[in-house]
Amino acid sequence: MAAVDRLISDRLSSSVPLVGQVAQHIISSGGKRLRPVLLLLMAGALGYKGNDHFKLAAVVEFIHTATLLHDDVVDDSGMRRGKATANALFGNPASVLVGDFLYSRAFQMMVECGEMGILDIVADATNVIAEGEVMQLMNMHDASLDQKGYLKVIRSKTAKLFEASTRLPAVLAKSSAQTEAACAAYGQALGTAFQVIDDVLDYDGDAATMGKNLGDDLREGKSTLPLIFAMQRGTPSQCLLIKNAIEQGDIDALADIVDIVRSTGAMQATRQVASDEAQLALHALEILPAGDYKTALADIAEQLLSRQN
């Protein structure tokens, strides 16, 4: 990761000072670097001996950062990871354009690897992520969204980059098609579980720990899985309260809604969905040879379920 961080810092350089300022602000703001970590661990598990995995780890972090810059503009967010968002500090135009810079820099770095399979995976991932963003936009303030529709969005918007992060090392290592598919399945399931838990924490965490404002999803009109389960399990009046809050983006009744989510068992039901996805991720790892890297990948899936931020 130290090598990846050095590469990130080096490739953020630009003759336009504002580009570096905005990009450095969000990249240095304390993210988990989970996608690069997964890529490096999977490369180790597959026995890859080259250096291109460092470059690809930086690539997935650049793409992730670009999506965050764009997301914060779309969602009009003011806080991320406990700090002011880039759009709050530098304005929406700068955030959008620097996000575009990071996308293009990522593709420059991929081309340097000289592997068409890598370009194919990342080009597909960025396209699916964009589709997921649009799907989420279309679903804003829609209280009729069901579990299937919710999962379709997060598997595109969030899990697809996890999938790419764990599939790319299989291309580098010249793994079999079966192994590559298993690596992709691990990332897809892990990314889905990650986002489901993230949505749980919007109703079961605190702003200081999470680094964002609780209730942000509700304010933005997002119908996430805890709310979907709460409306399925609650009384007609409880369901109506949540429905109106989603449709109006109103968080005045947030305390009551949190109580409903907790009292109806929606929290436990949502965590069970995440647990099921984590089990799928663990199952996908069975094809890999035993070793410290495989153990670390399994530990991440297991520890995901207890995350607090």
In a domain, 174, yes or no: yes
pTM exceeds 0.95 for this model: no
Domain assignment of residue 303, yes or no: no
Burial of 50 (0-12, 13-18, 19+ CB in 10 A): exposed
Listed residue (35, 189, 222) closest to 122, CA to CA: 35
User: Using one digit for the tens of pLDDT, what is the confidence trace for 198-245?
Assistant: 999 888 765 444 444 567 788 889 999 999 999 999 999 999 999 999
Structural domain harbouring 124: 2-294
Over residues 113-154, the pLDDT tens digits come to 888 999 999 999 999 999 999 999 999 999 999 999 999 999
Residue 299 belongs to a domain? no
Tokens 């804003």 -> residue: 140
Residue 22 counted as domain residue: yes
Residue 301 lies in a domain: no
Q: Is residue 308 part of a domain?
A: no
278 close to 302: Cβ distance less than 8 angstroms: yes
Domain containing residue 184: CATH number? 1.10.600.10
Q: Specify the DSSP class assigned to residue 291.
A: S
Q: Please count the structural domains in the chain.
A: 1
Predicted confidence band at 79 (pLDDT cuts at 50, 70, 90)?
Answer: confident
238-265 tens-digit pLDDT: 999 999 999 998 889 999 999 999 999 9
Overall size of the chain counted in residues: 309
Whether residue 306 is contained in a domain is answered as no
Q: What is the mean pLDDT of the chain?
A: 91
Residue 214 pLDDT: 64
> How far apart, in whole angstroms, are the C-alpha atoms of residue 32 and residue 91?
25
Question: Coil, strand, or helix at residue 84?
Answer: strand
Domain assignment present for residue 257? The answer is yes
